[in-house]
Structure 1
Amino acid sequence: RLGNTDLTVTSGFSLRHDIVSDLELSKTLNRTTVLENIQLGDLNQTNLGAYANVEFDLGKLKVSSAIRLDYFKFLYHDKLQINYQTLSETKSILSPKLNFYFEAQENLQFYLKSGIGFHSNDARVIVSQNSKDILPKAYGLDVGNIWKPFPKIILNSAMWYLFLEQEFVYVGDAGIVEPSGKSERFGLDLGIRYQFNDWLFFDTDATVTHARSTDDPKGENYIPLAPDFTLTGGLSINNLDNFSGGIRFRYLDDRPANEDNSIVAKGYFVTDFNMNYSLKNVTLGIVIENLFDTEWNETQFATESRLQNETQSVEEIHFTPGTPFFLKAIITYKF
């Protein structure tokens, strides 16, 4: 306690060490014979972290403040260099956060969450940055509520904002992630949970997002593949005469595939189904992915390519087809 205020203190530390040998992107013949190495090297990365969190209980208002210290050491040995060379960088960063939770009523809570983090995902970019923007910061803010207006329904909503000091874009042909400037995102999240009875449940979540680069002119500042609308949900059965399962859907709207939105990544609506029956130690089940056999693209990106009979390359959508109708049977035995 601090005076008349209850407080809870939590602290800890973390250690992570990754060793990845032969990190590679190569041109091959029939996926077996290497024709040309584009990227080839060994990665050695260490992350030490320590954090402390203090939560103050002020009755209906709870305040949580925390800070985290991270230390990184990046080592990368580029095997494509003629002379042996290991590139290295070290960096430390402090990440604070401050959250407020207010219980307006027994069934209604408001919250405000704020924090500063960092964004980085390729050691090869980091060691080539010459100590510039090694761990670019991310600033986030959430304002929302959780409301239970009736015993069997829960509603939650949130408005949020995210600013990144540096956006990163994967360049497939080069096998690297490259910096592409500052960006901001803001949006609205909505969620519903409803219990019809003891065994039937419904849930759905929707997100609306505005994502743009802040360094580029209007109309040329779209963030490729950043979704602007998503919707998920479904019906679930739990323990109905030993049956359980559900039907679920996911929807992703069309979204820009390049910076000026002249190329569009197509959205999709896909439905999955599963059903299980339990009898003592044995569970029998079926899983159906893409119940209605919808044609959809799972991975999509805009890049240049050229066919053998073409003189000029063309920038267009390249994609991995999504899973078609797929049925799987499952037998589980519990010892």
Structure 2
Amino acid sequence: MMLFRPTPFALAAALCTLLASSASHADDTLMQRVLIDGSRASQLGIADAAGDGSVTQQQLAARTTYRPGELLEATPGLIVSQHSGEGKANQFYLRGFNLDHGTDLRTTVDGMPVNQRSHAHGQGWTDLNFLIPELAARLDYKKGPYSAEEGDFASAGAASIIYANRLVRGVASASVGQNGYRRALLADSASVNEANNGALLYAIEALHNDGPYTRGDDYKKLNGVLRYSQGYANNGFTVTAMAYNADWNATDQIPLRAVQQGLLGRYDGIDNTDGGKAHRYSLSGAWQRSGEDTAAKVGAYLIANQLDLYSNFTYFMDDPVNGDQFAQPDRRVTSGVDASHAWHAHIGEASSITTVGLQLQNDNIFNGLYKTVARRAVATTRADHIVETSAGLYVENSTRWSPVLRTTAGLRADAYRFDVRPSEAGSASALEHPAGRASDRLLSPSLSAVFGPWALTEFYANAGTGFHSNDARGAVAADAPLVRSRGLELGVRSEWLPRLQTSLSVYRLDFDFELSYVGDAGATEAGDPSRRYGVEFSNYYKPFKWLSVDADLAFARARSRGAEARAAGAAYIPGAVEGVAQLALTVDKLGPWSGALRLRWFGPRPLAEDNSVRSRASQTLNGRIGYKFAGGMQLELEAFNLANRRVSAIDYYYASRLKGETQPVDDVHFHPIESRSFRLMLTRSF
């Protein structure tokens, strides 16, 4: 056990290494806390809401993930899914949202935004395939629009993955598995410029996976990281380069009727030329300095992303001869700066930290939508050059008024500018979609109050406003660039029972309206205002040093608030998640043995506005077992879908037409959970 009583900025340094998430909210009156070796970092005296938290490197390493993006499922209540095999960005579900590929879930890796604005396939496109899980030092998460630091896309939640500056030991691993799975990883760090505590970290990863599909995905990925760091977490700097390149075939969702009629197997596809290729290259730097009463940090990044995506979701509905395949190319350069400065002050018995921050981002984008046949472009629906620029300025004050009361008040100001121009001058697309500009400004206040602790228990009250930006093409067409969200939340967090951390929250989240640019159609769709209610219950129990138990439950109710929709009985929001649950048992340090079992329940969802069609719930069980040999060798066996459940990873309801059908048919379209599979990994630490 370890006892500590931190001072404000000593705490900031200590918590960075102890993997806590919000050191700026702690001060020298924090109560003493007991941490169990290997346990989740305590959030008492730190978090501003019951839905905030931090996941340690040890906990992340214990998770069994089929894809890198599933690391985000360490956030209680968050589901990460996929409707197109490998390579494509994941689908996310949280707090009553079908977040598509990332809208309203702000995701960052090492301070760099992952959400891509005004993307060809969908607003907020969040592709985490470049993530290397072994480098993740911690995951910090927040839920709801209650933090002035978080801006665009953060209304439902925000997830931040931080990479390590150093590895305790180097690692070389090789993995083999069913369905053509192969992976190799080499990562290490070395001391350089020891007088200034300098370190050079590198990692290179190569992966191949076919998946269980009749036509293998042939997903090939090459991934690398190179980082130089100097100093320490609170007084130092880092410079990081990342490179990711991949290409794949795709087996997209298929109609249920085709499987029921025996026309298709569960892992068959319809258009065998679907697929894509992507790359991501980035250069970033971060600098931090902390004194006795001040702390400053500056981060900057330059990211080059490119995606060529080929899909066919309606098959032969629009073109009975050649099929409905379309291409969504997107290439962009994203640059930005994120800077903040904090001051600590004592006012009588009270103490406070005031933080001022500035966030700048610019996206220079070329993307479009093309009609294709076997990945060959035959017509242009639209082609655009988009320049999207934003500036966010925020101030946040956290004050501890007494040993049992602290508050956080914030105000954020955002300004956006959108410039959309045809990239193929003189084309039919340019005539139909002429150039346009739009701009918008928004103020977002937030307020949180924390009462306690009493008997190792705190109570939270949160209110705040947030937003998400619309796709630039929709913003220009409908003159509605930014969409306001409003959240209210009450919560409690307790560690009163020994070795049990538990939190409970109830919330309401409103959006002024839903407006989306549909990349699959090249058009803008306007929606009604919406409201979501929900409750989340999260538990982490560590009865023994070698055993931990996670149990998370979340339920939500999502409805449209449009008068016409309610009057017509069509107020349901298709795809909105209603209930999720996870139960996990993790064993570690049981001699040379380690292991985990994780049961995930993904509840049913409405697929139509009138709730006449619903998806079925799905349950999956994943697990792993590992054995450490002398000399730094470890052998691990990972298992996915142990019960071999024939359930859906995702479901949609829309019209499509198969070859030979005379008319389009409204039907459920699903992508199956991968069949039971095993992966064997041999790791050598050095």
Q: Is the 8 A contact 2:641 2:675 kept in 1?
A: yes
Corresponding residue number in structure 2 for 1:15: 360
Residues 1:205 and 1:9: Cα distance change in structure 2 (over 3 Å): same
Other structure's SS at 1:149 match: coil
More strand by share: 1
Asked if 2 retains the 8 angstrom alpha-carbon contact of 1:263 and 1:316, the reply is no
- The answer (yes or no) to whether the contact 1:19–1:43 under 8 Å persists in 2 is yes
Question: How far did 1:76 drift?
Answer: 2.4
Question: Which residue number in structure 1 is paired with residue 410 of structure 2?
Answer: 66
Contact 1:225 1:301 in 2 (8 A): yes
- What code does the residue aligned with 2:389 have? T
Query: Match for 1:77 among 408, 421, 432?
Result: 421
What is residue 391 of structure 2 aligned with on the other side? 48
Deviation above 6 Å: which 4+ runs of structure 1?
none
**Residues of 2 paired with 1:26 and 1:265: CA distance?**
31
309, 330, 335: which one pairs with 2:681?
330
- Cα shift at 1:169: 5.3
Report the Cα distance in structure 1 between the residues aligned to 2:642 and 2:436, rounded to whole angstroms.
Answer: 49
- Per-residue displacement from partner, 1:36-80 (whole Å, max 9, x unpaired)? 333432332222212111111112000110111112222223342
Q: Which moved more, 1:88-97 or 1:74-83?
A: 74-83
> Which consecutive residues of structure 2, in runs of 5 or more, have no partner in the other structure?
1-345, 424-428
Which residue in the other structure is 1:156 paired with?
A: 503
2:509–2:532 Cα contact (<8 Å) kept = yes
Q: What's the offset of the Cα at 1:329?
A: 2.3
Is the 1:220–1:259 contact (alpha carbons within 8 Å) kept by the matching residues of 2?
yes
Specify the alignment match of 1:240 in structure 2: 590
Superposed CA RMSD: 2.2
Following superposition, the deviation at residue 309 of structure 1 comes to 3.1
Instruction: Specify the alignment match of 1:117 in structure 2.
Output: 466
Cα distance between partner residues in 1 of 2:626 and 2:410 = 43
Comparing both chains, which one has the higher relative contact order based on Cα–Cα distances under 8 Å and sequence gaps of 6 or more?
A: 2
State, as a whole percentage, how many aligned pairs show the same letter: 27
Number of equivalences: 331
What's the offset of the Cα at 1:85? 4.6
Deviation at 1:84, TM superposition (A): 9.2
Instruction: State how far apart, in whole Å, the 1-side matches of 2:600 and 2:382 are.
Output: 36
For the 8 Å contact 2:637–2:678, the answer to whether it is kept is yes
2:392–2:412 CA contact under 8 A, matched in 1? yes
1:295 counterpart SS class = coil
CA contact (8 A) 1:294 1:324 kept: yes
Tell me which protein shows more helix as a share of its residues: 2
Correspondence for 2:668: 317
The Cα of 1:211 is off from its aligned counterpart by 0.7
Does residue 28 (structure 1) correspond to residue 372 (structure 2)? The answer is yes
Q: How many angstroms apart in 1 are the aligned matches of 2:682 and 2:582?
A: 28
Deviations 1:174-217 (A, max 9, x none): 14552211000001111121112111111111111111001022
The equivalent of 2:153 in structure 1 is none
Aligned equivalents of 1:51, 1:268: Cα separation in 2: 41
Aligned twin of 2:615: 265
Q: Which letter does structure 1 place at the counterpart of 2:598? A: R
Matched residue, 2:26: none
Report the Cα distance in structure 2 between the residues aligned to 1:267 and 1:209, rounded to whole angstroms: 15
Is 1:205 matched with 2:552? yes
Distance 2:517 2:431 in 1: 26
Looking at structure 1, the residues matched to 433 and 534 of structure 2 have their Cα atoms a distance apart, in angstroms, of: 48
Gaps of 5+ in 1: none
